[in-house]
Structure 1
Amino acid sequence: MKQYLLSIYQPDDTPPPDNLDEIMRDLYALNDEIRAAGAWVFAAGLHAPSTATVLHAKGDDVLVTDGPYVESKEHIGGFTVIQAADLDEALDWGKRMAAVLTLPIEVRPVADH
């Protein structure tokens, strides 16, 4: 089976929704379904982009920059890695996640090693 990254796009500087407890309950239930289906690989939430450190190689030096590399109005707030038979199956899980979180989900195949 191929692996897919489901990236959760979260708006910057937006307070959590009033129904965050309900959303998280539904997300945990979806994660349990993904596990039960044998598609679960790994998932994690991320701290705010302000906690990021970017390392950029410049010749023999490495430039260290605080914060996100890209200026944007949204950031990756978390991700899930799943196994799926094909893109259609991965998109089905991504659609369900988008419905639960009410946030955009990017589905991208993980490159084969």
Structure 2
Amino acid sequence: MRRGIDWYACPPGIDAHRPLQASLAGLPPFPVQVGDEEIMLADATRLAAHARACGVNARLEVHRRRWHVFHLQAFYLRTAATAIAMLGSFARECVDGAAPAPAAAAATSPAEVPAP
């Protein structure tokens, strides 16, 4: 166990391993998808807000009644399949040179993303 912890432990003082404390300026646009029942909901929300504060276009999507890695159930859950399609749309917008939705308008509340 100790060896595994040592392999993945962040070196002290290196902010690159702490994205909520490091400058994210210069990163390309990125989506953050999270379920409102996700244990890391607060972290995901803070990451998107921090990225925006650093000038990065981060699109936050909070999916109602969803959990960690809900995307893995895309075969069974319409919202998971929709979330994956939204990732594809975001990537196409970035690759095609179209500016993804402005960061301030990109956040969605749990009520705005449909559940099955």
Q: Shorter-chain TM-score: which interval?
A: under 0.3
Superposition TM-score, scaled by structure 1 size: 0.27
By percentage of residues, which structure has more helix? 2
Q: Highest relative contact order (Cα 8 Å, sep 6+), 1 or 2?
A: 1
Superposition TM-score, scaled by structure 2 size: 0.26
